[in-house]
Every structure is written in C-alpha cells, then in structure tokens.
C-alpha cells in the first residue's frame, strides 16, 4: 500500500538530477582516470571514450531536464580541463563551464556546481595528488580560479564523496574503485581533504553569495544483533568523520544508494541470495535515503541537507520509479521528523560511465545511444518532473 505523502514543490525546493564531468563529457584525456583506463592491464571494464558527449550536448541535456519540470542540475567542472598543466589556465574551458551555467540559468534551472568529482589532473596525480606536500595550496589555487565564473552561482560542492576517495586511497593506494569497496580509509587523505574543503569554503564565502558544502557517501551502516560497537567503530572513519567536518557548512550533500550491515567481527555481512540486486550488485533498499538523512541530521547537528545523489542502476525503468518512490517516501518521513532538506537531485540525469564498471550499469533518467548520442527520456524523467510540480507521488 503506497503512503499518501506531500512533498515540497519547485521552485522553493531543488528538484533535479546530478552528473559528473568524467562520466558524461567524453575525451577527458588529461585526467588521472583516463590514464587508469588506458594503462596496460587496466581493471576498468572499458574506456570512457566519448562518454555520452555531454561536453557538446549539454544544452539539450539541460533542456530535457527543464522541459520535464525539474529546476536544478548538479554537474561538475573538470579541473583537468581548466588547468591541463600546472599553472596553465585554459580561458576557453572556463568559458565553456560559464556557458553551461548560463544555459541553466536561462532555462530557469539552478546550477549546483561541483568543483571536484573524483578526477584529478594527471600532473597533480603524478605529483602525489592528495599526498603531495602542497596539495591544499594547489587545490585552493584551482578553487580561486573557478570563482571567476561563479558570479551568480548559489550552490557549490567543494569535493564529492571525500570518504570514498579516502577508502580508494586506503586500499593500498590502489586505483580500483570497485575493488576498494569499503576498505579502511587512509586517515591522512581524509584529513588533507578536510583541510582543503575548509579552505575552499572560505574562498567561496569570500564571494559573498555562495552557499558551500561537500557531499558524503552515506552507507547506512546497520548493526547485526550485538554488533553496535563494531558498527560505530566501522562507521566513524568512513562516514562520521566527514559529517563532522560539515558542521557549520551551509549545507551537506547526502548521497545514498544502499545500506551496509556490520557483523560482530566488524566486517560487512554479505547479502543473502534472496535479496534483489541492482545492476551494480547492490541490495535494492530504497528506504536507505530516509535513514541516511536522519543519520546525517543527527551527526551534523542539523546542518541543512541537499540530496545530491540517489538512484539505482537498472535496465527496468519501472523499477527505477519504484525505487525513487520508496526513497522519496522515506525522505518525506525524515522531513516530518525534523530534517531540513532543501532539494532532491537524482543520480543520474543520463546513462553514463560508471567508473570501473563502464557503461553497463544504467542509472539515467535519460537513455543515450552511444553511437549517435541520441537522447531518449525514460518514463522516470517525466515521473520525477510530476513530483516536482505537484509534491505528490504519481500512481
Ligand atoms: C558517485 C558517482 C557514481 C555513483 C554510483 C557515487 O559514489 O559520486 O560518481 O556514479 O555513486 O556508483
């Protein structure tokens, strides 16, 4: 039985979808991920190649989002394009991202701009990336550079999922996102990203109009019977540390897909065979979103939240709608319970390049033909647009 719930509507609430540059633009040849994809014996399923050519087709992508009734688009600007060699700033690439902002604003779409979504310029990665002695200064200079195009942008995400980055680096500084799983995070990487984030927030606040935050991957760590202490110990360096850094920020981005049950041995309990899995192999568990919001609310002490990612990889769009309905019902319960939530941005606007797994796991509200790049909105796009307009979950 579906609950009858009421959600806030656009324009007061951000209703939209998210993407990340490397996953949709194509040809991100100066980034460390491109290098990882092309190294002999790479563990990446395939090259990101042209991705879905959103670098050229973003006006159409923004138009499809706006036509559906959505009013917010989260995308990332690509450091590897803006600063292809250390200290060499591409005016043309800055102008490109400024045009993206303009296209959003002209369509009545609020841009939510992410400064760093996993990919680093190759030159920075080769110098050690977050382990480089001057990592914070280097990142801060990049943030200063991007402020030139943020004149009328209100929402800026500094770093996407620093906790996943720390776990990837913790997996013996391997380059394999999937294999990194939930590896013990590298605490030095966590701390340097926290410092970089705080500096970035200061720089962005210098503009006077920007609301800044970072996004955290919320795993909804649950304790198996008797495993409460083990769960807390597991969660702290992987999640709570990053949520504590967000205390005092203007917002925190909540990114939720699944839950993780921790056993008394302090390790994740594998799912049973009877559990429905998505194309990424994750458990189908839509209520994770509400639980992630309630947890984030508690650990940050009530910092306003934006759902900056939530969705499922599936070839069955009706199941995507079911998942999103379940997630939004749980979000409504979290709001009724006192959580301050300013927006819901679905992952993802487009079927895209899912890192190590390549193009197979489809998260998009819009399908893309990878040969012609033709876009075909799925029913879930119109469904989400209806929610944004009416505040009701359509049957
Ligand atoms: C990331 C996205 C990714 C998504 C689904 C998040 O961890 O920010 O880049 O595609 O989850 O795996």
Per residue in 47-99, pLDDT (tens digit) is 999 999 999 999 999 999 999 999 999 999 999 999 999 999 999 999 999 99
Mean pLDDT value of segment 241-248? 98
Whole-angstrom distance, CA of residue 360 vs CA of residue 342: 31
Mean pLDDT value of segment 331-356? 98
Distance in Å from the first CA to the final CA of the chain: 11
Task: Output the pLDDT for position 175.
Answer: 46
User: Best substitution site from 76, 238, 255, 278 to test ligand 1's pocket, by max atoms within 8 Å of Cβ?
Assistant: 255
As a whole number of angstroms, the longest Cα–Cα distance in the chain is 58
For residue 214, count CB atoms less than 10 angstroms from its CB and return exposed for 0-12, middle for 13-18, buried for 19 or more: buried
Q: Which of 177-186, 270-279, 328-337, 371-380 has the lowest mean pLDDT?
A: 177-186
Q: How confident is the model at residue 395 (pLDDT cuts 50, 70, 90)?
A: confident
Task: Output the pLDDT for position 180.
Answer: 40
pTM recorded for the entire structure: 0.97
Instruction: Check whether 329 has a pLDDT greater than 50.
Output: yes
Task: Output the pLDDT for position 245.
Answer: 98
Task: Output the pLDDT for position 394.
Answer: 83
Going 120 to 126 to 128 to 133, the CA torsion angle's sign is negative
Whole-angstrom distance, CA of residue 114 vs CA of residue 75: 6
Please say whether the beta carbons of 177 and 356 come within 8 A. yes
Q: Is the CB of 353 under 6 A from ligand 1?
A: no
Whole-angstrom distance, CA of residue 395 vs CA of residue 202: 45
Please say whether the beta carbons of 27 and 68 come within 8 A. no
Q: CA gyration radius for the chain? A: 20
Ligand 1 centroid to residue 61 C-alpha, Å: 19
Q: Is the CB of 160 under 6 A from ligand 1?
A: yes
Whole-angstrom distance, CA of residue 238 vs CA of residue 162: 9
Q: What would the pLDDT profile of 372-392 be if each residue is shown by its tens digit?
A: 999 999 999 999 999 999 999
- Average pLDDT of the residues of the chain: 96
Q: How confident is the model at residue 260 (pLDDT cuts 50, 70, 90)?
A: very high
Ligand 1 centroid to residue 354 C-alpha, Å: 7
Task: Output the pLDDT for position 182.
Answer: 77
Give which of 359, 360, 331, 362 is closest to 345, Cα–Cα.
Answer: 331
Please say whether the beta carbons of 317 and 380 come within 8 A. yes
Task: Output the pLDDT for position 16.
Answer: 98
Please say whether the beta carbons of 308 and 254 come within 8 A. yes
Please say whether the beta carbons of 256 and 310 come within 8 A. yes
Q: Is the CB of 351 under 6 A from ligand 1?
A: no
Task: Output the pLDDT for position 30.
Answer: 98
Task: Output the pLDDT for position 12.
Answer: 92
Name which residue sits closest to atom 12 of ligand 1, judged by CA. Answer: 354
Mean pLDDT value of segment 198-211? 98
Please say whether the beta carbons of 33 and 335 come within 8 A. no
Ligand 1 centroid to residue 50 C-alpha, Å: 19
Ligand 1 centroid to residue 198 C-alpha, Å: 23
Q: Is the CB of 249 under 6 A from ligand 1?
A: no
Residues above pLDDT 90, as percent of the chain? 94
Task: Output the pLDDT for position 178.
Answer: 40
Mean pLDDT value of segment 200-213? 98
Q: Which residues, 6 or more positions from 198, have their beta carbon under 8 angstroms from its beta carbon?
A: 245
Q: Is the CB of 20 under 6 A from ligand 1?
A: yes
Tokens 């079927």 sit on residue: 351
Instruction: Check whether 1 has a pLDDT greater than 60.
Output: no
Q: What would the pLDDT profile of 157-200 be if each residue is shown by its tens digit?
A: 999 999 999 999 988 554 444 434 578 999 999 999 999 999 99
Ligand 1 centroid to residue 161 C-alpha, Å: 9
Task: Output the pLDDT for position 176.
Answer: 43
């Amino acid at each position: 039985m579906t609950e009858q719930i009421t959600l806030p509507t656009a324009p007061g609430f951000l209703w939209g979808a998210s993407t990340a540059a490397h996953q949709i633009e194509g040809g991100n040849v100066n980034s460390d991920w491109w290098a990882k994809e092309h190294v002999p014996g790479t563990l990446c399923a395939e090259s990101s190649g042209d991705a879905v050519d959103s670098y050229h087709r973003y006006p159409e992508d923004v138009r499809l989002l706006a036509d559906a009734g959505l009013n917010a688009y989260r995308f990332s600007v690509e450091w590897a394009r803006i600063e292809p060699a250390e200290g060499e700033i591409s005016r043309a690439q800055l102008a490109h991202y400024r045009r993206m902002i303009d296209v959003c604003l002209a369509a009545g779409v609020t841009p939510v701009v992410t400064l760093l979504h996993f990919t680093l310029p190759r030159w920075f990665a080769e110098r050690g990336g977050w382990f480089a002695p001057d990592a914070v200064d280097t990142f801060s200079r990049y943030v200063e550079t991007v402020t030139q195009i943020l004149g009328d942008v209100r929402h800026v995400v500094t770093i996407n999922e620093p906790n996943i980055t720390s776990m990837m680096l913790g997996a013996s500084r391997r380059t394999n996102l999937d294999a990194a799983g939930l590896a013990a995070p590298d605490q030095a990487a966590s701390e340097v990203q926290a410092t970089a984030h705080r500096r970035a927030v200061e720089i962005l606040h210098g503009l006077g109009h920007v609301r800044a935050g970072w996004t955290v991957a919320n795993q909804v760590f649950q304790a198996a019977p008797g495993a409460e202490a083990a769960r807390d110990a597991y969660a702290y360096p992987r999640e709570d540390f990053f949520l504590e850094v967000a205390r005092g920020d203007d917002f925190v981005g909540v990114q939720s897909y699944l839950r993780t049950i921790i056993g008394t041995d302090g390790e994740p309990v594998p799912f049973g065979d009877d559990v429905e899995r998505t194309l990424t192999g994750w458990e189908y568990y839509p209520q994770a979103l509400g639980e992630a919001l309630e947890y984030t609310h508690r650990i940050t002490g009530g910092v306003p939240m934006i759902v900056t990612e939530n969705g499922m990889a599936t070839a069955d769009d009706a199941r995507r709608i079911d998942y999103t309905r379940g997630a939004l019902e749980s979000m409504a319960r979290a709001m009724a319970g006192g959580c301050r939530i300013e927006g819901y941005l679905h992952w993802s606007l487009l079927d895209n390049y899912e890192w190590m797994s390549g193009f197979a796991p489809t998260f998009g509200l819009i399908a893309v033909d990878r040969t012609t790049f033709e876009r075909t909105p799925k029913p879930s796009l119109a469904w989400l647009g209806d929610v944004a307009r009416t505040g009701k979950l359509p049957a």
